């Protein structure tokens, strides 16, 4: 069986909104593709990220204050991370974790949190949190994502991941998430990959096709039903 | 004069609302008063700020507020309290309207107030009570709070050098507030039979509220609460908390504190921290150990949640947990996991309808640990409620529940849920729902031949 290593980035720091479930869902999605997935927890912010050994870096939502600390901690390996992304390495950032990869986040107190600048994205912390369902059409694959979002910041980007069919997305204007090469940012929670295992499989397929050329898929009935009922509920709100 | 007119109008409004509907309009007088005069609360006379206690935090506010209040009454003091849980400015105004003379003089010795974490800064601006107890600061109502750091920052602005803070020694986030207060009193529970270590590979902790680096726990007395240390800055649980509960005997319902044994009617880990908090506050308010012991022995929680029913030979244990609040839900899941008997387990969490827009998020269930239940003797799992049942079922399966034992019922109707659970060979049925829908299941059982234990 082919092996895949998922880097779960800073699990004790980035773990809001139940998104640790996405780690489990990635493992299951890998199994559906006939792969053996290994999760490697990358714990220490100042520790060197073993980029050569990781097939995917998964950043889950965290507190904006934590992102500021992480940005500073990552400064010594900023170039390596950039190189990883430029060479097609896969990074998925969910919720506020996406701000870490943007250029800058303006906080309510007027301070600015610098990002890694790998995404052409700026953000402004919201005065009030916005939580709602989210239904998204992905630009590249035309896949649909469904879930919800807890928005702490409004985001501006010229390179969205998709457009909203329902929900606020980046800032209420129709754009959702951001993408640069295989660096993917989405606001969609659920956990993301539990509710949208097809998205997890698509990401993993990109990795394994690039690496191994494997493809297999089993249906996920529970997630299909979850998708249908959530979309039906969203339709009642339009 | 404006204050007195507002007070009189509000008292009259309270009187008439009470006449018309005795169970309604609990905060209508306070609502009216604060609409007419936003700083209404600031104008009462006779309030000794050294005898005003605010109790805030994510979990345990209502219970500990009731406990402090009842302890004071039991000790022969006079006190007023917002026991109905109206914990924002309008609720505070309502309490003062009820417990004041027509001249605006507060007519009790102590004022004990449950305070919503977000409202406390505003309340303290007009009522600068000097005792602030924080039960804990944890994930809760993400749609409103976003992340716990937002609440931490709000509370930072609510306390200052004039405040005595009562803090959970083993809760990393709230205990960091100590540096903001004039005095900090820490309450703590020693290692006991129900302490646990979390070795699950998906277990997570939290970032240090002071430096952002990972917190590590030595063990957990409750989920997210236990002796801890920041891996970077030295923020850690203290080794000499002022109030420390030791020698906990869950079966006997006893613990020791300060060399004395206390008997209590509730002894799960959640209640132990509540008793520790009440001990800390009570001592500082001048209560004696005898007075505290007597109050603890007699304490009955008016907001106690769990109920036991019997229906056609099955024992049904009905639990309620605060939806969107992983730690509170975890306490209920732990109750199920600790029962070694063969059982059927049903979980009903619902669309989130506390605020607009309503939404179908149930991700908080993934912040809970369901694996301990899945490792037990479970005949069947049922996930129910419209729309979110499939996500709840997925959570169970990801935790290790066999797929063929998990049923998702896309309905809020308790009928099909009970029918399915009754068919299993399990003598015990656990049903966990959120607080808002708690009555639905009990009504169904009682109208279908079931009985409820006293």
pLDDT digits (tens, 9 = 90+) for A55-80: 999 999 999 999 999 999 999 999 99
Q: Do B394 and A222 touch (CB under 8 A)?
A: yes
Whether the pLDDT of residue B350 is over 80: the answer is: yes
Whether the pLDDT of residue A228 is over 90: the answer is: no
Q: B307-452 adopts what CATH topology? A: 3.90.190
Q: Do A222 and B215 touch (CB under 8 A)?
A: no
Report the residue from A10, A18, A237 with minimal CB separation from B363. Answer: A18
Whether the pLDDT of residue B305 is over 90: the answer is: no
How many CA atoms, within 13 angstroms, populate the side-chain half-sphere of residue A174?
Answer: 2
pLDDT of A1 reads 67
Structure tokens belonging to residue A134: 């989210």
Mean pLDDT for A159-179 is 98
Q: Which chain B residue's Cα is nearest to A9?
A: B204
Q: Do B387 and A230 touch (CB under 8 A)?
A: yes
Whether the pLDDT of residue B84 is over 80: the answer is: no
Mean pLDDT for A188-205 is 96
Q: Which chain A residue's Cα is nearest to B391?
A: A226
Q: Do B143 and A65 touch (CB under 8 A)?
A: no
Structure tokens belonging to residue B25: 């309009």
Mean pLDDT for B93-109 is 96
Identify all chain A residues contacting B366, using CB atoms and an 8 Å cutoff.
18-21, 191, 194
The answer for residues whose C-beta is within 8 angstroms of residue B308's C-beta and 6 or more apart is B315, B316, B317, B318, B452, B453
Mean pLDDT for B131-137 is 97
Provide the shortest C-alpha distance from residue B128 to chain A (in Å): 25
* Pairing between β-strand B406-409 and β-strand B378-384 as defined by DSSP bridges: parallel
pLDDT tens per residue across span B108-121: 999 999 999 999 99
Provide the shortest C-alpha distance from residue B433 to chain A (in Å): 19
d(CA A83, CA A77): 10
List chain B domain ranges: 2-298, 307-452
**Does ipTM come in above 0.90?**
yes
- Beta bridge mates, A235: none
pLDDT tens per residue across span B164-200: 999 999 999 999 999 999 999 999 999 999 999 987 8
Mean pLDDT for A45-58 is 97
Mean pLDDT for B340-368 is 95
Report the residue from A68, A226, A232 with minimal CB separation from B391. Answer: A226
Q: For A151-187, give one letter per residue: b (16+ CB within 10 A) or e.
A: bbbbbbbeebbbbbbbbbbbbeeebbbbbbebbbbbb
Whether the pLDDT of residue B145 is over 60: the answer is: yes
Two domains, one topology: B2-298 and B307-452: no
Best CA proximity match to A154, nearest among A109, A108, A195 = A108
Count Cβ atoms within 10 A of the Cβ of residue B268 and give its class: 0-12 exposed, 13-18 middle, 19 or more buried. Answer: middle
Whether the pLDDT of residue A215 is over 60: the answer is: no
Q: Do A69 and B143 touch (CB under 8 A)?
A: no
- The domain A2-237 is classified under which CATH number: 3.40.50.970, 3.40.1160.10, 3.40.50.880, 3.30.1490.20? 3.40.50.880
Q: Is A65 near chain B, with CB under 8 Å?
A: yes
Architecture of domain B2-298 in this structure: 3-Layer(aba) Sandwich (3.40)
pLDDT band at B22 (very low <50, low <70, confident <90, very high): low
Identify all chain B residues contacting A15, using CB atoms and an 8 Å cutoff.
204, 206, 367
Mean pLDDT for B58-79 is 95
Count Cβ atoms within 10 A of the Cβ of residue A110 and give its class: 0-12 exposed, 13-18 middle, 19 or more buried. Answer: exposed
Q: Is A231 near chain B, with CB under 8 Å?
A: no
Whether the pLDDT of residue B126 is over 50: the answer is: yes
Q: Which chain A residue's Cα is nearest to B387?
A: A229
Q: For A75-100, give one letter per residue: b (16+ CB within 10 A) or e.
A: eebeeebeebbeeebbbbbbbbbbbb
Q: Find out whether A214 and A33 touch, Cβ atoms under 8 Å.
A: yes
SS3 category, A227: helix
Identify all chain B residues contacting A23, using CB atoms and an 8 Å cutoff.
202
Q: Do B398 and A132 touch (CB under 8 A)?
A: no
- Cα torsion A54, A59, A65, A71: sign: positive
Q: How many helices (H) and strands (E) does chain A have?
A: 7, 12
d(CA B173, CA A79): 33
Q: Do A20 and B139 touch (CB under 8 A)?
A: no
Whether the pLDDT of residue B85 is over 90: the answer is: no
Q: Which chain A residue's Cα is nearest to B204?
A: A12
Name which of A221-235, B266-280, B376-390 the model is least confident about. Answer: A221-235
User: Could you say which DSSP state residue A45 is in?
Assistant: T
pLDDT of B20 reads 76
Whether the pLDDT of residue B349 is over 70: the answer is: yes
pLDDT band at B452 (very low <50, low <70, confident <90, very high): very high
Structure tokens belonging to residue A6: 């998922």
Q: Is A152 near chain B, with CB under 8 Å?
A: yes
d(CA A188, CA A197): 13
Mean pLDDT for A109-134 is 97
Q: Is A191 near chain B, with CB under 8 Å?
A: yes
Q: Do B390 and A229 touch (CB under 8 A)?
A: yes
pLDDT tens per residue across span A89-101: 999 999 999 999 9
d(CA A35, CA A1): 6
What phi and psi values does residue B55 have, to the nearest 5 degrees?
Answer: -120, 120
Best CA proximity match to B127, nearest among B150, B153, B95 = B95
C-beta atoms surrounding B267 within 10 Å: 20
Beta strands in B49-173 (DSSP E): 52-56, 79-81, 110-114, 131-134, 164-168
What phi and psi values does residue A114 have, to the nearest 5 degrees?
Answer: -75, 145
Contact map slice: A 21-60 vs B, CB within 8 A: 21, 23-25, 28, 39, 41, 43-45
SS3 category, B153: helix
pLDDT tens per residue across span B427-449: 999 999 988 788 888 899 999 99
Provide the shortest C-alpha distance from residue B410 to chain A (in Å): 9
pLDDT of B288 reads 96
Beta strands in B237-312 (DSSP E): 243-249, 254-257, 260-263, 307-311
Q: Do A194 and B394 touch (CB under 8 A)?
A: yes
Per DSSP, helices labelled H in A19-177 are 20-32, 64-74, 78-86, 97-101
Angle, CA B236 vertex, CA B231 and CA B238 arms, to 5° = 155
Q: Find out whether A158 and A120 touch, Cβ atoms under 8 Å.
A: yes
Q: Find out whether B186 and B169 touch, Cβ atoms under 8 Å.
A: yes
Choose the mutation target among B212, B386, B397 for the interface with A, i.e. most A CBs under 10 Å. B212
Q: Is A168 near chain B, with CB under 8 Å?
A: no
Report the residue from B147, B211, B395 with minimal CB separation from A63. Answer: B147
Identify all chain B residues contacting A28, using CB atoms and an 8 Å cutoff.
398
pLDDT band at B23 (very low <50, low <70, confident <90, very high): low
Q: Find out whether B96 and B114 touch, Cβ atoms under 8 Å.
A: no
pLDDT of A238 reads 83
d(CA B22, CA B8): 20
Whether the pLDDT of residue B242 is over 80: the answer is: yes
Report the residue from B231, B360, B397 with minimal CB separation from A230. Answer: B360
* Pairing between β-strand B228-230 and β-strand B215-217 as defined by DSSP bridges: antiparallel
Q: Do B212 and A70 touch (CB under 8 A)?
A: yes
Average pLDDT, chain A: 94
Q: Do A17 and B410 touch (CB under 8 A)?
A: no
Q: Find out whether B26 and B17 touch, Cβ atoms under 8 Å.
A: no
Q: Do B360 and A233 touch (CB under 8 A)?
A: yes
Cα dist. A121→A102, A130, A185 in Å?
5, 19, 10
Mean pLDDT for B125-142 is 96
d(CA B53, CA B225): 23
Q: Find out whether B255 and B272 touch, Cβ atoms under 8 Å.
A: yes
**Residue position matching structure tokens 């007023």:** B80
Contact map slice: A 79-118 vs B, CB within 8 A: 96
Cα dist. B393→A191, B138, B183, B349, B370 in Å?
13, 25, 47, 11, 11
pLDDT of B354 reads 86
Contacts of B207-211 with C-beta under 8 Å, sequence gap 24+, read B207/A12, B207/A13, B207/A62, B207/A63, B207/A65, B207/A66, B207/A69, B208/B172, B208/B176, B208/B232, B208/B233, B208/B235, B209/B149, B209/B152, B209/B172, B209/B173, B209/B176, B209/B235, B210/B176, B210/B235, B211/A69, B211/B235
pLDDT tens per residue across span B33-56: 999 999 999 999 999 999 999 999
Q: Do B143 and A68 touch (CB under 8 A)?
A: no
């Amino acid at each position: 069986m082919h092996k895949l290593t998922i880097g779960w980035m800073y699990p004790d720091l980035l773990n809001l909104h139940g998104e640790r479930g996405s780690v489990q869902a990635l493992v299951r999605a890998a199994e559906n593709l006939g792969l053996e997935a290994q999760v490697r927890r990358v714990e220490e912010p100042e520790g060197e990220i073993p980029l050569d050994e990781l097939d995917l870096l998964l950043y889950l939502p965290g507190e904006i204050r934590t992102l500021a600390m992480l940005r500073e901690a990552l400064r010594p390996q900023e170039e390596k991370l950039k190189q990883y992304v430029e060479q097609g390495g896969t990074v998925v950032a969910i919720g506020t974790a996406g701000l870490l990869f943007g250029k800058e986040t303006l906080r309510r107190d007027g301070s600015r949190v610098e990002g890694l600048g790998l995404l052409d994205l700026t953000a402004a912390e919201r005065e009030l949190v916005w939580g709602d369902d989210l239904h998204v059409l992905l630009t590249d694959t035309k896949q649909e994502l469904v879930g919800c979002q807890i928005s702490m910041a409004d985001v501006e980007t010229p390179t969205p991941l998709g457009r909203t069919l329902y929900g606020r997305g980046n800032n209420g204007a129709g754009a959702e998430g951001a993408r640069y090469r295989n660096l993917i940012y989405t606001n969609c929670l659920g956990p993301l990959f539990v509710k949208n295992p097809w998205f997890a499989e698509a990401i993993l397929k990109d990795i394994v096709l690039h690496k191994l050329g494997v493809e297999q898929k089993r249906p996920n009935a529970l997630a299909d039903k979850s998708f249908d009922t959530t979309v039906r509920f969203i339709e009642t709100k339009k | 004069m404006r204050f007195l007119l507002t007070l009189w109008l509000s008292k009259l409004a309270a009187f008439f609302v009470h006449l018309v509907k005795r169970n309604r309009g609990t905060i209508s007088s306070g609502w009216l008063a604060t609409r007419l005069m936003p700083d209404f609360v600031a104008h009462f006379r006779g309030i000794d700020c050294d005898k005003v206690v605010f109790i805030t935090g994510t979990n345990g506010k209502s219970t500990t507020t009731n406990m402090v209040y009842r302890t004071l009454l039991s000790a022969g003091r006079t006190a007023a309290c917002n026991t109905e849980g109206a914990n924002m400015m309008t609720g505070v105004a309502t309490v003062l309207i009820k417990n004041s003379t027509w001249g605006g003089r507060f007519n009790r010795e102590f004022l004990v107030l449950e305070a919503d974490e977000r409202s406390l800064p505003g309340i303290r601006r007009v009522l600068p009570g000097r005792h602030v107890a924080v039960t804990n600061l944890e994930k809760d109502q993400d749609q409103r709070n976003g992340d716990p750091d937002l609440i931490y920052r709000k509370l930072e602005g609510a306390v200052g050098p004039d405040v005595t803070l009562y803090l959970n020694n083993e809760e990393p986030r709230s205990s960091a507030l100590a540096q903001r207060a004039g005095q900090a009193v820490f309450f703590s529970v020693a290692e006991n039979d129900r302490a646990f270590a979390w070795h699950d590979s998906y277990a997570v902790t939290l970032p240090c509220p002071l430096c952002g680096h990972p917190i590590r726990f030595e063990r957990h007395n409750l989920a997210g609460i236990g002796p801890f240390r920041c891996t970077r800055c030295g923020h850690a649980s203290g080794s000499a908390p002022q109030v420390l509960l030791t020698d906990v005997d869950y079966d006997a319902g006893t613990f020791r504190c300060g060399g004395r044994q206390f008997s209590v009617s509730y002894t799960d880990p959640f209640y132990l921290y509540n008793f520790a908090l009440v001990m800390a506050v009570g001592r500082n308010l001048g209560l004696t150990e005898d007075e505290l012991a007597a109050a603890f022995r007699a304490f009955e929680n008016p907001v106690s949640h769990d109920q036991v029913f019997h229906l056609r030979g099955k024992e049904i244990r009905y639990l309620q947990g605060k939806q969107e609040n992983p730690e509170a839900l975890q306490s209920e899941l732990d109750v199920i996991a600790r029962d070694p008997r063969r059982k059927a387990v049903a979980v009903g969490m619902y669309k989130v309808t506390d605020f607009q827009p309503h939404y179908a998020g149930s991700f908080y269930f993934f912040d809970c640990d369901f694996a301990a239940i899945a490792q037990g003797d479970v005949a069947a799992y049922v996930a129910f409620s419209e729309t979110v049942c499939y996500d709840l079922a997925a959570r169970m399966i990801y935790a290790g529940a066999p797929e063929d034992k998990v049923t998702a019922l896309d309905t809020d109707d308790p009928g099909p849920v009970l029918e399915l659970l009754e068919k299993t060979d399990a003598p015990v049925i656990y049903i966990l729902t959120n607080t808002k829908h708690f009555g639905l299941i009990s009504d169904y059982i009682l109208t279908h031949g079931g009985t409820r234990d006293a």
